[in-house]
Structure 1
């Protein structure tokens, strides 16, 4: 089975060079899409299922690392392609399969492809899960919400609360906008718990700055927009202490 790939680089010439080399491995590789920025890269990633992402690091509208941090999950292997060698350590810290310096060497690229094939056979999804986890540990200022085939960027400071809905989550913004995503509440808790958000109930993650008052008798928090949210028994004392500060 062919490995489906996406190429992201802000230099069209670099994409064409990479495409020309990959076409030599036509029995193993299928290029499903290309993009020339972080923004368009996120768009093509949202639209396609694929196995390998060949990703430039320094681009006009951000870095390859920025792009990866915006993704809710990373179900593919990453090969960085760059003219700069100073990012190698950072790349391998997020468990990239390879780090290729430009100009791309065909033999090195061939070895990267073989390494992907071997990793997929031996390790399955374990490394990709680790990559997602490592990226989620990094502080972010925006959430990338994938909904109905598009990705919307939401400032974390604009969030009011997030509600669990089975394996899905409902994201509520201060302006009343609502988004439904396929990521569970635990995913968002790990991403933004250090940004002033608290899990007050197994079904609710709330922006603490949005809490107007705490009704201790009814065990409810009241948000500035008038929303009432329940507080679970294990969290009542902690929430009371936080509100009382």
Structure 2
């Protein structure tokens, strides 16, 4: 069972989340503490050493980022709860951090709890927090790609193309490096957007800036020498995009 802390400055939202957890995950989550201010939250995390933290971004006397920069204990899984708009949701995805939108949906909460990694993999990386803080204030320039070995911070313009196989996605970078992630391509299609990126096929998402040539028959040649097919369903949209560029 996960020992959890809820950090939220609005009482009714704390109570609602607590009740939902008791209903949706009674055998998985035990709430061991609450906090409503940044200072209180940082002290609580270090003292109770939870497995799981639900945290709002805007708190009394500070933000969730202030909390994360203050704590020394980091062996927990973090789920942000936020009412932020779509641009901020992209920032969460670029930073590889979990989030739930307010008002929190019970089924989405259950899904978030179900996908929490096992204990040995739970560790909040400072680079994830730094990237999120950066991406919340500017158009994202970097993306975090988590693997079992490391958190890879990659400049978006380094990505040449992505290829999916089942629930895995491989990122091909302009220096020849490949990074395989245990997430499907659709997770990245929603944040790597046109005109720079385009999903030309069920298996491929490409960076259009690295296209060398493309044919009417439906083949794309990339700068790294890879040939990528354009699916029949994507041809019209792809050719239109290239004309606009």
TM-score (ref. length: structure 1) = 0.54
CA contact (8 A) 2:2 2:51 kept: no
Distance 1:193 1:66 in 2: 11
What is the correspondence of 1:40-79 to structure 2 with a 5 Å cutoff? 44=74, 48=76, 50=77, 68-72=92-96, 74=98
**Corresponding residue of 1:233:** 232
Asked if structure 1 preserves the Cα contact closer than 8 Å seen for 2:94 and 2:191, the reply is no
Does the CA contact (< 8 Å) of 2:91 and 2:140 recur in 1?
no
Aligned to 1:161: 161
Mapped to 2, the partners of 1:36 and 1:125 lie a distance apart of: 26
1:68, distance to aligned residue in structure 2 (A): 4.0
Equivalent residue runs for 1:53-202 within 5 Å: 68-72=92-96, 74=98, 94-95=101-102, 123-126=106-109, 140-194=140-194, 196-202=196-202
Q: CA deviation at 1:18?
A: 2.6
Secondary structure at the counterpart of residue 175 of structure 1: coil
Residue deviations 1:120-146, cap 9 Å, x none?
xxx2534876xxxxx9xx853221100
Q: Is the 8 A contact 2:169 2:183 kept in 1?
A: yes
From 44, 49, 57, the counterpart of 1:18: 44
Q: Secondary structure at the match of 2:235?
A: helix
Alignment gaps of 5+ in structure 2: 8-38, 54-64, 82-87, 113-131
Task: Tell me, in whole angstroms, the C-alpha distance in 2 between the residues paired with 1:15 and 1:151.
Answer: 25
Structure 1: state its 5+ residue gaps. Answer: 8-12, 24-29, 56-63, 78-93, 98-118, 130-134
SS in 1 for 2:239: helix
The residue that corresponds to 1:204 in the other structure is: 204
Aligned-pair distance for 1:237? 2.6
Decide whether aligned partners of structure 1 residues 40 and 158 sit closer, same or farther in structure 2, where only a CA change above 3 A counts: farther
What CA distance in whole angstroms lies between the structure 2 residues aligned with 1:33 and 1:175?
Answer: 37
The answer on whether the counterparts of 1:145 and 1:181 sit within 8 Å (CA) in structure 2 is yes
1:159, 1:223 → 2: CA distance?
12
Shift of 1:225: 2.0
Q: CA RMSD in A?
A: 4.3
Deviation for aligned residue 1:152 = 1.1
